[in-house]
Amino acid sequence: MCSKEYMLLMTCLTSNGLFDNVTNNVSKIFYTAFVANTLDTAPKKVRQTSNVKLEKAFDWLASRQQRFGSFKRAEFDPHYKRSEIALTSYVLAAMLGNESAKVKHAVVVEKGMRFLSKQLDLITSANDLAIATYAMMLYGHSLKNAAFEKLIDVSTITNNGAERYWNTSNSVEATSYALLSHVVANKLLGALPIMRWLVNQRSEIDSVSGQQNTYIRLKALSSIAKKVSPNRNDYHVQVKYKKNTKWFRFDSYDNDTKNITIPQDIKMLEINVAGVGAGFLEVFYRYSLNLMNFEHRFQLDLLKQNTSSDNELRLNVCANYMPTLRDSRSNMALIEVTLPSGYAVDRNPMNEQTTENPIQHIEIRYGGTSVVLYYNSMGSERNCFTVSAYKRFKVALKRPVYVVVYEYYTSE
């Protein structure tokens, strides 16, 4: 936004400090806070001329606070659909973002925080929770971590874990406030998937709600950009193992990837980071396990069925998970069926499938000589199906074939 547009926005505030372009009282509260919040990010030259109006805007907002600390919807407004919790959180966040208002209206902020803390356990809307969490983070409330964890629990992960967002009636706004909370909490690694999702969203400026979404989205993205920008980097990384110590320095001029190889006999690694900036540290390791020493977690049963032709092979396969805890389930589970030399399956090789835990995907590999079935998870229920294969080719070689069930990934 250029200085001219900031000055135009400032004219929307009356001499009393409120936004007077709307008639509804609750809308006046929101838009006054919105304009004050926006002007607070204006260039220094603009802020110098708007300080008086900003102060009066926050004074007017403080006078609108209800007895128990909230900023309340006074009457129905079809253009404003935020709840009492969201409106209160929005005003408090605006005050906490202005150093002068934060001090002058400390009592108002504290009273509002008491209201939010009493409502936290009752919040069911992710939109309300996102903005309330951000306000608590800015304030440093004792319940900020509880609110943050509750917010993470209702998020949605997509794109194989590369992106995270909040699937609500206003996903951009909720996700933007969640990103701002991550930045305030300095949880930058967790913020990256949220940033990726927000970057891929389009800006809409044809409506007031679209302008607000665009503003808060850009504010969130700029806040993390300031944190993770390599231009701010100036830190050291110390890696210690046994009697060896290695030092690495990262600054705005040197951000190349550093790699070291740790000896195979090292069982403990100590890593210390000191300084300012952001980076990504990853430790790769691998180890071998003798699976003969572990109990099987799946039960697998095979039955070769009789057929009317020697050229047809029918296998009935049943599998289930054997949990260590009652009612627990596996992660994504795969059953892989390989066929003897010369046999191949048709395009639709499955029949007689059990329906309690349906197959999610069937993959035919290697010209029909292998079939892989995907389940979202498995429990103690029996998951059965019959696969039919036909002799299509001459036997090229004699080799062992197998049917195996395993977890595609584990949570560790």
- Higher-confidence residue of 32 and 56: namely 56
Q: Can you give the pLDDT at residue 46?
A: 56
317 with 337: CB under 8 angstroms? yes
- Cβ–Cβ under 8 Å, residues 319 and 298: yes
**Hey, CA dihedral for 225, 230, 234, 239, is it positive or negative?**
positive
- pLDDT tens per residue across span 309-332: 889 999 999 999 998 777 788 889
Residue 146 in tokens: 């509880």
Q: Report the distance separating Cα 108 and Cα 185, nearest Å.
A: 23
The region of weakest confidence among 16-20, 101-105, 128-132, 258-262 is: 16-20
Half-sphere exposure of 346 (CA within 13 A, CB side): 10
Listed residue (400, 372, 407) closest to 296, CA to CA: 407
Q: Is 305 helix (H, G, I), strand (E, B) or coil?
A: strand
CA pseudo-torsion sign 2, 8, 12, 17: positive
Confidence of residue 400 (pLDDT cuts 50, 70, 90): confident
Q: What stretches of 135-289 adopt beta strand conformation (E)?
A: 156-158, 163-165, 234-241, 244-251, 270-276
Q: What is the pLDDT of residues 328-386, one digit of tens each?
A: 888 899 999 999 989 999 988 888 888 899 999 999 998 899 999 999 999 999 999 99
pLDDT score for 29: 79
Higher pLDDT, 137 or 254: 137
pTM for the full predicted model: 0.58
The single residue listed with the structure tokens 């929101």 is 30
Query: Measured between alpha carbons, how far is 149 from 133 in angstroms, rounded to an integer?
Result: 10
In percent, the amount of the chain with pLDDT more than 90 equals: 45
Give the 3-state secondary structure percentages of the chain, helix then strand then coil, rounded to 5: 40, 20, 40
Return the pLDDT at 12.
53
Take residue 406 and report the two structure tokens written for it: 């395993």
DSSP states along 153-167: HT-EEETTTTEEE--
Place of tokens 């709600």: 209
